[in-house]
Structure 1
């Protein structure tokens, strides 16, 4: 395909069924129902976007999107199981049990803002519901690889912007001027990193070059959108690659400013090592079809920021317990200004952090209390993660791993009472002073330790 001229909306490339690998048996039956009903009603309808791209490279799409010249209201008239959503982009969702087929009307670029298209002073697209033709729709999509259409009437793939060749060559290329496209929607910079990591594509040079200079635009993106993008980036099996691309494109400080600063000032590199190990573990669990939770993921991603904030408070002489809670609250609050982390994830994330110092306590009462804590298993997994980057935690890790495997009676005999010969004696034995451990006391540098 490298010798084929680049297609244009005026002269598209039509790839016949014999020259591509897409088969209807690999397409969701519900998506086919939507396509055929739209066609039978006299509308043009195509499978579009990521599903076409993934099918061309032998993937197995989870979502199937449809593009059509029918308006949202006309789509709703054809499907009783349809609901219309969105203000920024008006869409139809056709619901089949747990599967949703998203149907979008072909859109066009508009020269001037009107009631259906609105941009802000910086060029960011606020609303876009100007409908057009399939040729116009292709040009206004983000990447060439996402602007391919599978036509149900002849089973061909239609390419208006060179996406078929780019998919074959595994290149992620923006449609139009990259700077303008990123200003329209800054989240496209994150999508570039995520898709390149997911698909093992190379980001075209002209698409990658402006990203470091424009990364600050992400500060104006809706925090809820950034949270959703993070879940797609870090919980779909390509978390480590995504993180490395965020670093390479200098997007990490725009997404996780305090963690990026802590990693940069951590001379030993232990914090970065721990985060990368957490992402590798997440990728492995996804491959093994095991559950992954945003609470644990964000606990790892924001741990560098927590360590750094804790070190600052401890240097100011704040009481250790108060410093731990205050550091957790501050990091959560500051990060929420960039990424909308729901409380159902931020609260267990904080619990995982605040339980870490309790792994150094070996008295009978405290050990059994920690073992019974509902967040113990997640906190222990986090201790194991920290130990992968901080060898001095090996002793604590071995003790608690062993404690979980012992019968309660056996463990009780092994453990010392709280103080002075009895759990309730009331006397406290003064412990030997020890050097604070990393992430607990005075840290080795501004970035903290793992």
Structure 2
């Protein structure tokens, strides 16, 4: 199958592929999206090579339902666009074709090349070991070895329904092993996001990371600082919104990666607060996993409110200790802690604005009388802020009785709500009236 492996199992150069016939794998064409099959058929009709590859093939082999199907071909993106009128070309770092079928998108990529002598023409650009542009095209053999993990380098051929395996991914899949193709440290340096992908696949699939691919994770975390913040944002949503956020959080901290993504939060997590370990992030991520398991909505704003809360909370407590009121203190704490100092991730304004609202509403839960209660209940961020309060109470940092009161208030009838929010006016006794001058003193 392979021409050569090093003593650590690294693939050094392509050899003859292993062809796995339909009788030896479990993929049926009935499991594949009709639109993906249509893309494959039409490309082949135009005399192009075309295969399914990547996560869709991997998930089918594991008995999972793929979220999408990716196609790879020897047609250039421009040639793909000529075949499909419902096609749009995207990306600068990696040029891709998206073929639209209503709400479904079939992503089509051209075989990536591995030649170094053509890099000067700008098709591939490498800076400090990191690939910043890679539109150098090649053969299917080269494409296989340009992929990150062996389990993502399995090609499905619709012609005879076989699998083509250049990297040993079929055996690694059966062994539950996550192995990088090529030298792990070099591959991580080419694209540091691969470290996050290693964590994501290990958590998602329950696989072990091959020791050679695992060791660099402990020492290369600083490379994440050089990844565009917008790309990190997208990758973190995949990591924490796929139902295994707690496991991902624990692995990120185990490898020392979390601190490069959320340095201010990690600094807080590294210490105890009043002698107790900080559990809020774990509880918040566990809640996220539970909601996803129950098919309930989750939002990036709530996720980042959880991940960035601890430094905000500490500053809030500090300002109140210095004498500021709760509402003024939370506003100042939010204003002081610049997101760029808390995280290297570029969080869009559409996320930071509701995130900050969730935080700023926390002191308003202290008010339980009069019209302010009803105004808070009508606030568009009330539900998210209330859920956040419940997590804080569960972690022991907010008053459990306060959270219980707000739960009861929402469930109460209108007359009960009026009684719960009634302003208690302390009546003055019938004693002797004080002198007028004293009243205004």
Length-normalised TM-score, structure 1: 0.88
Counterpart of 1:274 in structure 2 is 280
Cα RMSD over matched residues?
Answer: 2.2
SS in 1 for 2:98: strand
> Which structure has the greater CA radius of gyration?
2
Report matched runs for 1:150-169 at 5 Å.
Answer: 150-169=156-175
Residue by residue, what CA displacement relative to the aligned partner does 1:202-237 show, whole Å, maximum 9, x if unpaired? Answer: 111111111121101101110000110111011121
Report matched runs for 1:253-332 at 5 Å.
Answer: 253-267=259-273, 272-314=278-320, 320-332=326-338
8 Å CA contact 1:12–1:160 kept in 2: the answer is yes
1:147 aligns with 2:130: no
Counterpart of 2:91 in structure 1 is 86
Counterpart of 1:46 in structure 2 is 51
Question: Bigger shift: 372-381 or 124-133?
Answer: 372-381
8 Å CA contact 2:19–2:164 kept in 1: the answer is yes
Cα distance change on mapping 1:89 and 1:58 into 2, 3 Å: same
CA distance in 2, matches of 1:81, 1:407: 54
Q: C-alpha displacement at 1:277, in angstroms?
A: 1.6
Report matched runs for 1:369-380 at 5 Å.
Answer: 369-380=375-386
CA distance in 1, matches of 2:251, 2:313: 24
SS in 2 for 1:352: helix
CA distance in 1, matches of 2:155, 2:162: 8
SS in 1 for 2:337: helix
Counterpart of 1:116 in structure 2 is 123
Higher relative contact order (CA 8 A, sep 6+): 1
Counterpart of 1:60 in structure 2 is 65
Runs (5+) with no aligned partner, structure 2: 429-441
SS in 1 for 2:65: coil
CA distance in 1, matches of 2:311, 2:115: 43
8 Å CA contact 2:327–2:363 kept in 1: the answer is no
SS in 2 for 1:92: strand
CA distance in 1, matches of 2:360, 2:303: 16
Report matched runs for 1:179-198 at 5 Å.
Answer: 179-198=185-204
Cα distance change on mapping 1:419 and 1:220 into 2, 3 Å: farther
Q: C-alpha displacement at 1:135, in angstroms?
A: 0.4
CA distance in 2, matches of 1:270, 1:101: 49
8 Å CA contact 2:193–2:227 kept in 1: the answer is yes
Instruction: Determine which of 76, 82, 86 is the counterpart of 2:81.
Output: 76
Cα distance change on mapping 1:235 and 1:268 into 2, 3 Å: farther
Residue by residue, what CA displacement relative to the aligned partner does 1:377-399 show, whole Å, maximum 9, x if unpaired? Answer: 11111111111111762111111
The alignment covers a number of residue pairs equal to 418
CA distance in 1, matches of 2:242, 2:163: 27
CA distance in 2, matches of 1:148, 1:251: 29
CA distance in 1, matches of 2:275, 2:29: 49
8 Å CA contact 2:265–2:342 kept in 1: the answer is no
SS in 1 for 2:270: helix
Residue by residue, what CA displacement relative to the aligned partner does 1:8-60 show, whole Å, maximum 9, x if unpaired? Answer: 73221110000001111111110000011111111111100111111111111
CA distance in 2, matches of 1:218, 1:391: 32
Counterpart of 2:351 in structure 1 is 345
Residue by residue, what CA displacement relative to the aligned partner does 1:274-319 show, whole Å, maximum 9, x if unpaired? Answer: 2112112211211221111111111111111212333454566666
Counterpart of 1:222 in structure 2 is 228
CA distance in 2, matches of 1:288, 1:418: 42
Instruction: Determine which of 100, 106, 121 is the counterpart of 1:101.
Output: 106
CA distance in 1, matches of 2:381, 2:291: 19
SS in 2 for 1:210: helix
Counterpart of 1:244 in structure 2 is 250
CA distance in 1, matches of 2:412, 2:50: 62
Runs (5+) with no aligned partner, structure 1: 423-450
Residue by residue, what CA displacement relative to the aligned partner does 1:154-192 show, whole Å, maximum 9, x if unpaired? Answer: 111111011111111111111111111111111111111
Q: C-alpha displacement at 1:337, in angstroms?
A: 5.7
CA distance in 1, matches of 2:330, 2:350: 20
Question: Bigger shift: 23-32 or 259-268?
Answer: 259-268
SS in 2 for 1:66: strand
Cα distance change on mapping 1:268 and 1:64 into 2, 3 Å: farther
Cα distance change on mapping 1:15 and 1:48 into 2, 3 Å: same
Counterpart of 2:435 in structure 1 is none
8 Å CA contact 1:171–1:204 kept in 2: the answer is yes
CA distance in 1, matches of 2:24, 2:193: 34
Counterpart of 2:137 in structure 1 is 131
1:390 aligns with 2:393: no
Counterpart of 2:20 in structure 1 is 15
Cα distance change on mapping 1:271 and 1:223 into 2, 3 Å: farther
Instruction: Determine which of 31, 35, 40 is the counterpart of 1:35.
Output: 40
